[in-house]
Amino acid sequence: MQIERLIDVALGKEKADLVIKNAEIVNVLTEEFIKADIAICGDRIAGIGNYSGIEEIDAEGLYAVPGLIDGHTHIEMSMLSVTEFARVVVPKGTTSVVADPHEIANVLGKEGIRVLLEEAKTTPLKVFCMIPSCVPSSPLETSGAKITAEDIAEMLEWENVIGLAEMMNYPGVINKDTEVLRKIEVVRARGKPIDGHCPMLRGKDLNAYISAGIGSDHESISEDEAMEKLRLGMRIMIREGSVARNLKTLLNIAKKAYRWCMLVTDGDRTTRDLIEQGYLDYVYRRAVEEGVDPIKALQMCTLNPAEWFGIDAGLIAPGRYADIVLLKNLERFEVVRVIANGKPVGEIRRTYEYPKFVKSSVKLKKPIEPKDIAIEGKGMARIIRVIEGEIVTGEDREYVEGIDVERDILKIVVVERHKATGNIGKAYIRGFGIKRGAFASSVAHDAHNIVAVGTNDDDICRAVNRIAELQGGIVVVDKEVKAELKLDIAGLMSEERAEVVAEKIDRIHEELRKLGCKHPSPIFALSFMALPVIPKLKVTDLGLVDVERFEVTDIFV
């Protein structure tokens, strides 16, 4: 039995499988440095002290820290397969992630989540799953699947499924929505953690939300807001991504309540940034640059998430997973070697084969034509206004007779792609600034239908139909396809290497700039234009949505 051998190795009666010799161990619990050997048996740490092993690594002059744990992420947002994601992040020191797979869940339901977890088992990366709580995100769109309280009860029995992911529907909690509360009760009854998502929620509403059993939040946008949540017992996740950056704002929180905080990415790291800057190691470095003590910064991405989620990692100690990172420099997190699951990490290659249904998720009733996306009429129209750096939108009202490039009034459409209903939502939008052509994407939170913006109906149709041919992706068209990225894993992720994906995204951005696009993050911005739970105006396959009134509304006033 593994436990018997583990005990014998700890006692020194048997040689360890692997011993890391002479390491400067960073103990994130006692906040001290200890020079000692680390004995490993199987995938666990057996002991700290003086040990000999079948295999030994001399770590003289190196720091040994626990493998980093991202406490809140969405792997699908990297646009990489799980294997390729692991290939990029594990050698940089992240050995575990707590994933909310609500992107693939909205496309393929619980079977999509199963695929993600099965692929993860073939990699050195530990992927712990929090079950998506809001699939679909609202009744104002057509999603590919639905996850019920009964599904949650089933999935909680799956390996590495550890709780309920961000409860975005905080109005449903406060207003005691029956289905929402059933989902929460299923998880609470099993003593599992429930993550929150409650931007700007304060006062008695916040008290009510927390009283339901929700214990964390990653959406605080001010120090006061985060402090109120801390005082009420919430753990604060501090997000520092490629676009959403909260570390500077919440820096005092990080310094003051570091044992109750976590550093996370929320999946917001572009492929290019993953390759060139890093993943959670980058977030750690950013915290240290801002003046956070290195050991305290380490606590926020090792021990703290391990404690909140009940994971046997996050600390170099007997019985914990043998996930250890050897560093040349602690402050800069300069990685020399990574040990994951008790083994030195070598080359990571994909061996997992996707089931057929994963790569055939784009189903259109028929190729769309200009007549399908025509907006009839003219008059005073409600125009979605994209706000740079935000996923909220504004609303402009102007007289419109159709697309008007000079006034940056373009057309946006959302084409349903899960059930071949033929649904197409249409609206006007400004903020992308393109002067000709169109671009489209099958990454469109949260339902991930096909969303497209363009200056003319012909190019919009070409872009949407090309995505259907690719079975998912991002496409730029100007009378012909100018750039594209195939995302045929559920219409969300690519099978290609990260470097290739990054190059293709760069090409897409380059072609968009040629079309006149002024937005600094057009792919990111477009992906949120169909999310009907973030104000003010959005568009889904059902039409233009007034989020504040929570209803489909007319284009013309």
* Per-residue pLDDT tens digits for 360-404: 999 999 999 999 999 999 999 999 999 987 788 999 999 999 999
CB-based contact 71:303 (threshold 8 Å): no
Residue 309 lies in a domain: yes
Residue 339 lies in a domain: no
Claim to verify: residue 77 and residue 195 sit in the same structural domain: yes
CB-based contact 69:311 (threshold 8 Å): yes
CB-based contact 20:324 (threshold 8 Å): yes
pLDDT for residue 200: 85
Which of 313, 348, 376 terminates a domain? The answer is: 313
Residue 308 lies in a domain: yes
The answer, yes or no, to whether residue 248 has pLDDT greater than 90, is no
Structure tokens at 550: 């929570």
Q: Could you report the per-residue pLDDT of 537-551, keeping only the tens digit for each?
A: 999 999 999 988 889
Claim to verify: residue 103 and residue 187 sit in the same structural domain: yes
Q: Which residues contact 192 (CB under 8 A, 6 or more apart)?
A: 156, 162, 163, 164
Interval 144-167 mean pLDDT: 97
Claim to verify: residue 376 and residue 279 sit in the same structural domain: no
For residue 44, the surrounding DSSP H or E stretch is: strand 44-49
Q: What are phi and psi of 147, to 5 degrees?
A: -115, 120
Claim to verify: residue 271 and residue 414 sit in the same structural domain: no
Structure tokens at 111: 């079977």
Which of 313, 346, 371 terminates a domain? The answer is: 313
Strands of the sheet containing 537-540, edge to edge, are 537-540, 543-546, 551-553
Q: What are phi and psi of 153, to 5 degrees?
A: -60, -40
Task: Find the distance separating the first CA and the last CA of the chain, reported in whole Å.
Answer: 72
| CA–CA dist 505, 242 (Å, integer) | 15
Claim to verify: residue 298 and residue 421 sit in the same structural domain: no
Q: Could you report the per-residue pLDDT of 33-47, keeping only the tens digit for each?
A: 999 999 999 999 999
Q: How many CA atoms lie within 13 A of 360 on its CB side?
A: 3
Residue 286 in 3-state DSSP? Answer: helix
H and E: helices and strands count for the chain: 16, 27
pLDDT for residue 212: 97
| CA–CA dist 408, 78 (Å, integer) | 30
pLDDT for residue 407: 97
Interval 244-254 mean pLDDT: 87
| CA–CA dist 539, 141 (Å, integer) | 9
Residue 318 lies in a domain: no
Q: What residues make up the domain containing 521?
A: 358-553
CB-based contact 468:367 (threshold 8 Å): yes
Claim to verify: residue 376 and residue 299 sit in the same structural domain: no
The answer, yes or no, to whether residue 426 has pLDDT greater than 80, is yes
Q: pTM, whole model, 2 decimals?
A: 0.95
pLDDT for residue 179: 95
CB-based contact 243:478 (threshold 8 Å): no
Structure tokens at 75: 């792997």
Cα–Cα nearest to 226, from 205, 241, 204, 206: 206
| CA–CA dist 442, 473 (Å, integer) | 6
Claim to verify: residue 303 and residue 363 sit in the same structural domain: no
Buried b or exposed e, range 325-358, using 16+ CB within 10 angstroms: bbbeebeebebebbbbbbbebeebebeeebeeeb
Q: Could you report the per-residue pLDDT of 64-76, keeping only the tens digit for each?
A: 999 999 999 999 9
Residue 23 lies in a domain: no
Which of 313, 348, 383 terminates a domain? The answer is: 313
Tally of domains within the chain: 2
Q: What is the mean pLDDT of the chain?
A: 96
Interval 218-237 mean pLDDT: 94
pLDDT for residue 244: 75
pLDDT for residue 19: 98
For residue 527, the surrounding DSSP H or E stretch is: helix 522-527
| CA–CA dist 152, 163 (Å, integer) | 9
Residue 108 lies in a domain: yes
| CA–CA dist 97, 88 (Å, integer) | 13
Q: Which residues contact 371 (CB under 8 A, 6 or more apart)?
A: none
pLDDT for residue 548: 87
Claim to verify: residue 263 and residue 370 sit in the same structural domain: no
Angle, CA 120 vertex, CA 115 and CA 125 arms, to 5°: 160
Claim to verify: residue 302 and residue 427 sit in the same structural domain: no
Report residue 268's pLDDT band, with 50, 70 and 90 as the boundaries: confident
Least trusted range by pLDDT, from 46-55, 63-72, 194-203: 194-203
| CA–CA dist 44, 31 (Å, integer) | 22
pLDDT for residue 533: 84
pLDDT for residue 243: 75
Claim to verify: residue 308 and residue 377 sit in the same structural domain: no
Q: How many CA atoms lie within 13 A of 402 on its CB side?
A: 6
Q: Could you report the per-residue pLDDT of 269-328, keeping only the tens digit for each?
A: 999 999 999 999 999 999 999 999 999 999 999 999 999 999 999 999 999 999 999 999
Claim to verify: residue 508 and residue 410 sit in the same structural domain: yes
Other CB atoms within 10 A of residue 10 CB? 21
Separation in Å, CA 239 to CA 283, 300, 475, 529: 8, 11, 29, 22
CB-based contact 415:541 (threshold 8 Å): yes
| CA–CA dist 528, 453 (Å, integer) | 12
Burial label for 515, CB within 10 Å (0-12, 13-18, 19+), is buried
Residue 214 lies in a domain: yes
Q: Does residue 243 or residue 453 have the better pLDDT?
A: 453
Sign of torsion over alpha carbons 50, 56, 60, 61: negative
Buried b or exposed e, range 221-258, using 16+ CB within 10 angstroms: eeeebbbbbbeeebbbbbbbbbbbebbeebbebbbebb
Where are the extended beta strands (E) located within 168-299?
194-196, 216-217, 235-239, 261-264
The answer, yes or no, to whether residue 457 has pLDDT greater than 80, is yes
Residue 397 lies in a domain: yes
Give me the CATH number covering residue 227.
3.20.20.140
Separation in Å, CA 412 to CA 70, 327, 386, 388, 467: 35, 48, 12, 17, 16
Cα–Cα nearest to 230, from 247, 212, 264, 206: 206
Cα–Cα nearest to 424, from 394, 449, 458, 405: 449
Which position has the token pair 């998502």? 197
Report residue 342's pLDDT band, with 50, 70 and 90 as the boundaries: very high
The answer, yes or no, to whether residue 1 has pLDDT greater than 70, is no
pLDDT for residue 221: 82
Q: What are phi and psi of 239, to 5 degrees?
A: -90, 130
Q: Which residues contact 483 (CB under 8 A, 6 or more apart)?
A: 475, 476, 504, 507, 508, 510, 511
